[in-house]
Amino acid sequence: MRLSRLICSSILLSASLLSAESKNPADYPFRLHIFNRSETDFYHNRVEEETKGEGRANLFANNDVRGIDFSYECSEKLKASFGYETYPAKWKKPNQELVVLMPVFGKPNAYFTCDFKTQVKDYAYVSHNGSLSSESPADFKDWMKKRDYDPEHGKNVPTKAKAAAAATASKPE
């Protein structure tokens, strides 16, 4: 009896290790900016076991930006992006399911993974004065280019518009 428990435990541990996602940010080529989310927390004996919810985000992938609507089930609470903060992500099933690498808040360099079921949009989301709207990916990418913003390639904070700086520099004195 004891041997069969040990064998079962070994098999379960091996299976969980094989299905475990990497916690190395370098394995996640895309970036996800979460605008909003709603969630419900589930507890067992006063211990939080999981959260489920839905939300909206922009996915920066393959030099493109697309809005996504998503639903998720995570082992820990999910936080919306602060400012221009983005989270590492990769496709588990292209255009259907993302694996997102989320930070464990309060623990530097610690992460957990969360699977997002996604619906990819033909547009990008834009937040202005607390209100969410949409625009074409081409317009959003133009905005990104003018502000040297590209979170997929390490440019994580937009700068002032290059066009405004160029206009100021070319004014005759």
CA pair distance 49, 159, nearest whole angstrom: 40
> Can you point out the beta strands (E) in the chain?
30-44, 47-61, 64-74, 87-93, 97-103, 111-120, 124-128, 131-135
Residue 16: CA count within 13 A, CB half-sphere:
6
Residue 15 pLDDT:
38
Residue 112 pLDDT:
93
Phi, psi of 163 (to 5 degrees): -65, -40
With residue 169 as reference, give the H or E element that holds it: helix 162-169
Residue 78 pLDDT:
85
Residues of the chain with pLDDT under 50: 3, 6-19, 164, 167-168, 170-173
Check if the beta carbon of residue 159 is closer than 8 Å to that of residue 149. Answer: yes
Residue 168 pLDDT:
46
Check if the beta carbon of residue 32 is closer than 8 Å to that of residue 53. Answer: no
Residue 40 pLDDT:
75
CA pair distance 42, 27, nearest whole angstrom: 30
Residue 106 pLDDT:
86
Residue 45 pLDDT:
77
Check if the beta carbon of residue 138 is closer than 8 Å to that of residue 65. Answer: no
